[in-house]
Amino acid sequence: MDTVDTGPGTVELGIGPLTAAEVIAVARDNAVVRLTPEARTEVRRSRAVIEALAGDTEPHYGVSTGFGALATKHIPVERRAALQAGLIRSHAAGSGPEVEREVIRALMLLRCSTLATGRTGIREGTLDCYLALLNTGLTPVVHEYGSLGCSGDLAPLAHCALALMGEGVVRDHDLRLIPAGEALPAAGIEPVTLAEKEGLALINGTDGMLGMLLLAIAELRSLITVADLTAAMSVEGLLGTDHVFAADLHALRPQPGQALSAANLRTLMADSEIRASHQVEDCPRVQDAYSLRCAPQVAGAARDTVDHAALVAERELASTIDNPVITLDGRVESNGNFHGAPIAYVLDFLAIVTADLASIAERRTDRFLDPARNHGLPPFLAGDPGVDSGHMIAQYTQAAIVSELKRLAAPASVDSIPSSAMQEDHVSMGWAAGRKLRRAVDGLRRVLAIELITAARGLELRAPLRPGPAAAAAIIVLREAGVAGPGADRWLAPEIETAVGVIADGSLLAAVLAVTGPLR
């Protein structure tokens, strides 16, 4: 079996929790995953418990019974292999567009992490097969719809388990679509015939929800810093003041994220000729608009909400989610830990945060375009207003995205549709919360990209006054990437995508940090 080319490092999968960084390294950078000897020992020990129950005349859920509302039906020994395979085939019932590769890889790793704890009764060989899928870059096709976020992410995880059986379809490392029955042998992987309890162990987890939460947290941490940058550029370009970002003012309201954002804004606006030009006693400005003055309060609250979500994610990474579960003293017990409520709630919280951060950025952009509010700049920052429209429709695009983000901020976790003949009568809808958050994060990035190119143009129109070093570094990144400066109208869509790209690949922040030093 050959592993794919990987990023730096190897992730050791033991009986302890993974870190968020390890999950992202596997999901995005193809880091290799290895099972520790301690985990192998624990997996063998719990499997022995399941095998001891297999011949027991007393029914045991998932071992000698059906599933869900069929849990009262006893399954004879000779039909139990068919029971497990049938569970996976019937539950692999997803529909709709394919889910992104990084989400599926995160989901797979997190399921393997739970299996490695020795609390599920999986066989060592089955877990090795799962890890082989990850390490060879084979990614089962998972669909958008199918999980209710309770009893875990059943359909998404079932599509992954189906591939272990050599059924269904996968994409290889080059994203080619291949039947699993061909792809596994070609990669040197022997498909698995599932034994007692393994079907449940492979699908009864909150791994898809948690994977999407971890990926979103990583992106939002970066985007909130970008939001501080674009806010600073907007305040500077709109002749706002940085006095309101003073540390002693923010100490009056000791919200930690707010203080960090205010400190960033002070750093990002330092040494600006534009700011110095109106920092005089006879400046007519008394107070800036809320979208400028309150930037640290909004971005700071976003920071604090992300920190809360990260705390929930950290607890989930230390969790073992399965039903039934094998306890440390060897009991096999039913439980409700597969309910996705803790993850669903914070996924919804983050969608609210994302929408509001985009909303305030759009308001700052709009101020640049209005000659009644932009303090001497041309209408829409146009080269020849009337002939040229400038950034008029770029702001329309922002507004359309922000409106969509507000719709995506409506919580999924308040909904519940009973399923499985009312046995599963309350569900979390956490998978849906994760899916809409991914769309929201992408929308926020695009809104910030439009604020970035608008603020850059506004700052350059203040010439001969020069912006501060941080804004100047951001403008250089844009210009070198192909986003032109002020002038006649041109095709804007490619420039917006370029700005999205320099935010996404980290080059924008890297250039700014090279000038400012670390931001908070």
- DSSP 8-state assignment for residue 138: -
Peptide bond into 140 cis (omega under 30): no
Contact (CB, 8 A) for 501 and 478: no
**Rounded distance between C-alpha atoms, residue 212 and residue 217, angstroms:** 9
61 is catalytic: yes
Helix residue ranges, H only, 136-272: 154-164, 180-186, 198-203, 207-237, 247-251, 256-268
CA dihedral angle for residue 429, residue 434, residue 437, residue 442, rounded to 10 degrees = -150
Backbone φ/ψ region at 33: left (φ over 0), alpha (ψ -120 to 50), beta: beta
Decide: residue 276, CB within 10 A, 0-12 exposed, 13-18 middle, 19+ buried: exposed
Contact (CB, 8 A) for 134 and 109: yes
Paired with 32 in beta bridges are 10
**Rounded distance between C-alpha atoms, residue 120 and residue 128, angstroms:** 15
Paired with 13 in beta bridges are 35
From 61, 145, 345, 396, the catalytic residue: 61
Backbone φ/ψ region at 149: left (φ over 0), alpha (ψ -120 to 50), beta: left
Backbone φ/ψ region at 193: left (φ over 0), alpha (ψ -120 to 50), beta: beta
The residues annotated as belonging to the active site are 61
